[in-house]
């Protein structure tokens, strides 16, 4: 359960107004102290049902109130009716969420701010943060303990960099960017030439630009370009343990789930989704609106929006047909073996008749 830690728990009417819904039954002044699933909610909690079908489960719930779809029938507890339950739930969770451990405005005594760095108004610089020479941190941004911001790097306004995040020299974060713990922006790309009997590192002198409203998960990496820019488009959300290689350009509002790996110089359009443990080979282009299934690999350009899966990634229906064929393979092998034995028997019988 998520409990309220603010100065005053919200009333049912306040929550209804927050989600632009309508309160049905119940005392509008009744206060709610937490949010919990149907089977865990208590009398002071609000729960939810995303559809009329799931609303049937409310009959066995102890919740004090529920968020339900507009067309939902009678419920055993007061209900807030709304057009989009998931969006309403997100707003309610936001009302109860209290950020923990946010550093106070100003710089902690242990922070190191090198000369010519600029710190915006109300920015919060936590313990043992390092801000490089000539770097800029925008107004209202929060840099938690152990964050490193390189020389001439730029952090936009109202960004949140969680403990241990790293932003390399000359790299840029837009406004409202969130880096989760251990995220690395601007490490050198993975590039080598095999010369003189060994792997010789290729210098990477480019930068990374992270546009507005991007979130990057814990221990994910976006590598510095060899030259030019590695770019993550506005509104894109990247899960934990994701690798984006050098010189990639990822469009706006994409989703990269956990353990995705994007090889170098890939171009990804707007609204593309990569499922968990999926990825791409070097240098491919993917158009807008593509969905890549979990554990799939893009090996060539995709020019038509749709869902793709498998190795190599292909239209999902084709991948399913291929999988069905693979699953039938053992039975087909048995049938072939039976036919082979039958043919051998027939040939033996014919040989016997011919030779009397």
Please write the tens of the pLDDT for every residue from 151-205: 999 999 999 999 999 999 999 999 999 999 999 999 999 999 999 999 999 999 9
- Tell me: do 343 and 208 sit in the same domain: no
In angstroms, how far is CA 207 from the centroid of its own chain? 22
Cα(313)–Cα(336) distance, integer angstroms: 30
111, 99 contact by CB (below 8 A): no
Which one is catalytic: 144, 162, 204, 246?
A: 246
- Tell me: do 267 and 189 sit in the same domain: yes
pLDDT value of residue 139:
97
Q: How many domains does the chain have?
A: 3
Mean pLDDT of 265-279: 98
For 95-118, give the secondary structure using H, E and C: HHCCCCCCCCCEECCCCEECCCCE
CATH of the domain at 152: 2.160.10.10
Give the structural domain span for 334.
324-356
| 6, pLDDT greater than 60 | no
285, 263 contact by CB (below 8 A): no
Cα(308)–Cα(293) distance, integer angstroms: 6
- Tell me: do 285 and 170 sit in the same domain: yes
- Tell me: do 297 and 344 sit in the same domain: no
pLDDT value of residue 313:
95
Is there a domain that residue 101 lies in?
no
- Tell me: do 292 and 328 sit in the same domain: no
pLDDT value of residue 318:
86
- Tell me: do 199 and 272 sit in the same domain: yes
**Of 75, 96, 117, which closes a domain?**
96
| 101, pLDDT greater than 80 | no
Is there a domain that residue 149 lies in?
yes
Please state, for a pLDDT cut of 70, what percent of the chain lies above it. Answer: 97
- Tell me: do 208 and 80 sit in the same domain: no
- Tell me: do 198 and 334 sit in the same domain: no
| Count of residues making up the chain | 356
- Tell me: do 347 and 309 sit in the same domain: no
pLDDT value of residue 328:
79
Please write the tens of the pLDDT for every residue from 34-43: 999 999 999 9
- Tell me: do 57 and 152 sit in the same domain: no
186, 192 contact by CB (below 8 A): no
Q: Which is it for strands 285-286 and 192-195: parallel, antiparallel or unpaired?
A: unpaired
Catalytic status, residue 246? yes
| 316, pLDDT greater than 80 | yes
Please write the tens of the pLDDT for every residue from 53-75: 999 999 999 999 999 999 999 99
- Tell me: do 352 and 310 sit in the same domain: no
- Tell me: do 22 and 110 sit in the same domain: no
Q: Could you please report the per-residue DSSP string of 138-162?
A: -TT-EE-TT-EE-TT-EE-TT-EE-
pTM to 2 decimal places:
0.84
């Amino acid at each position: 359960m998520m409990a309220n830690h603010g100065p005053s728990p919200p009333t049912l009417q306040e929550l209804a107004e927050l989600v632009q819904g309508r309160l049905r039954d119940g005392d509008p002044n009744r206060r709610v102290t937490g949010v919990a699933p149907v089977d865990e909610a208590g009398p002071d909690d609000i729960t939810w049902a995303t559809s009329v079908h799931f609303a049937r489960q409310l009959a066995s719930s102890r919740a004090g109130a529920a968020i339900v779809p507009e067309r939902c029938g009678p419920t055993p507890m007061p209900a807030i009716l709304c057009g989009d339950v998931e969006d309403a739930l997100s707003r309610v969770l936001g009302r109860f969420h209290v950020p923990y451990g946010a550093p106070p405005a100003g710089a902690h005594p242990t922070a190191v701010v090198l000369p010519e760095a600029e710190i915006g108004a109300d920015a919060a610089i936590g313990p043992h943060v390092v801000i490089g020479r000539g770097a800029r941190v925008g107004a209202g941004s929060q840099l938690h303990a152990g964050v490193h911001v390189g020389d001439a790097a730029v952090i936009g306004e109202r960004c949140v960099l969680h403990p241990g995040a790293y932003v390399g020299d000359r790299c840029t974060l837009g406004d409202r960017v969130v880096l989760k713990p251990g995220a690395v922006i601007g490490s050198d790309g993975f590039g080598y030439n095999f010369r003189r009997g060994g792997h010789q590192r290729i210098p990477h002198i480019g930068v990374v630009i992270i546009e507005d409203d991007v979130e990057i998960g814990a221990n994910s990496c976006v590598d510095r370009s060899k030259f030019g820019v590695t770019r993550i488009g506005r509104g894109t959300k990247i899960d934990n343990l994701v690798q984006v290689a050098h010189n990639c350009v990822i469009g706006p509002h994409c989703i990269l789930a956990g353990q995705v790996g994007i090889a170098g110089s890939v171009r990804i359009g707007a609204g593309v989704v990569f499922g968990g443990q999926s990825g791409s080979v070097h240098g491919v282009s993917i158009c807008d609106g593509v969905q890549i299934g979990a554990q799939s690999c893009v090996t060539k350009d995709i020019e038509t929006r749709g869902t793709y899966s498998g190795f190599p990634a292909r239209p999902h229906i084709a991948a399913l047909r291929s999988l069905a064929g693979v699953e039938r393979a053992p039975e087909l092998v048995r049938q072939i073996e039976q036919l082979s034995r039958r043919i051998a028997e027939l040939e033996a019988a014919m040989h016997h008749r011919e030779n009397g």
